[in-house]
Amino acid sequence: MSEVVELTKELIKKKSITPSDEGCQDLVAARLEKAGFHIEHLPFGEVSNLWATYGKGEKTLALLGHTDVVPTGPIEKWTNDPFEPTENNGLLFGRGAADMKGSVAAFVVAAEEFCKKNPNPNGRLCIMLTSDEEGPAKDGVRKVIKHLTNQGEKIDWCLVGEPTAEKQLGDVIKIGRRGSINGVINVRGIQGHAAYPHNAENPIHTSSAAINEIVALKWPDETGEFPDSILQISNINSGTGAHNVIPGDLSLKLNVRYSPTISSQTVIDAVEEILKRHKLTFTNEWEDSGSPFLTRSTTLIDSVTEAISTVTGVNQVEQSTAGGTSDGRFIAPTGSEVVELGPLNASIHKIDEAVSLEELNKLTKIYVKVINKLLS
């Protein structure tokens, strides 16, 4: 069994459902410290964070990952226990196998190999881990990078281990992400008896036309570098549960993934304009969970694509900005080049999540080549 597979299995066994770490970072820290890294634990609230550094020099490469995983869903639907790693047909099954304990293990094994051969590297290699990527992402990298910036730290290149591949390892990397804004809208009505609607005001009825307009909101990306900004309603709640009671309020939750063509305020203004035009009585709350970013400098991109080509033979690497958010959104505003590269994403967050054993080993080799290219 290869080192990266063995370590991935050890990490999967730890039931680190967000925001819990369950000792994953202690396991990683012990190995990195033995390899020569300086270890700093940075807990915030219930969240565990790790910052490990090796070497000295002007340039810094950070490997960014998370040790938390999403809940398993119904365990009885899994073929095997999601926290008992199982091999079958060249795949390693378990919650977090692809997202992203496999990448974390590959980071560690790649770093160990680099340290053995480079006692005095031409720059610093750092590993940043959090247990708050799958959750609210408030006490993880968001706070860690603020702390590090206050300490005078600067990250030049950040390689994120999120699962990016679609058909084979290395076919897609992420060089940017859309921003994300969440909204909660509460529409007020007047509760009453269903037989006497003239004495009540049904917020479901009064807001339906406005909701249809909100659903239709779309902002085309003018740069050609991002998917269009789209709005999705994720929750609507209203009513007491009784058939004969007109509800007194309606709550609506929505999310918008937006490109740099617009801002979060653009979204807020558009939604509020619709609600006001329909003369609804409402309150709203908004949270911008991350701004869009795009890596334009090519040093890290070139290093990653070159390593992919050498290890996998994939020469046409798609440089994508599609998909959800990642913790890279907190690093990019500091001026760092950010690229995401990890295993196949087809099974992430699903029942029977899995990662290819062969691709885990190849991923480790890719990471080694990127580190060597930038720091040797």
Residues designated catalytic: 68, 133
DSSP state string for 123-145: SEEEEEEES-SSS--SSSHHHHH
Segment (H or E) for 276:
helix 264-277
Contact 207, 278 (CB under 8 A): yes
Q: Which residues pair with 177 in a beta bridge?
A: 293
Reduced to 3 states (helix: H, G, I; strand: E, B; else coil), residue 62 is strand
DSSP state string for 190-213: B-EETT-GGG-B-HHHHHHHHHHH
Using alpha carbons, select from 161, 129, 135 the residue that is nearest to residue 23. Answer: 129
Using alpha carbons, select from 355, 280, 360 the residue that is nearest to residue 91. Answer: 355
CA distance 241 to 324: 34
Residue type, 194: A
Contacts of 150 (CB under 8 A, 6+ apart): none
Contact 185, 251 (CB under 8 A): yes
Query: How many Cβ atoms from other residues are within 10 Å of residue 281's Cβ?
Result: 14
Using alpha carbons, select from 225, 31, 252, 25 the residue that is nearest to residue 144. Answer: 25
Contacts of 89 (CB under 8 A, 6+ apart): none
Burial of 181 (0-12, 13-18, 19+ CB in 10 A): buried
Using alpha carbons, select from 175, 143, 122 the residue that is nearest to residue 45. Answer: 143
CA distance 20 to 222: 40
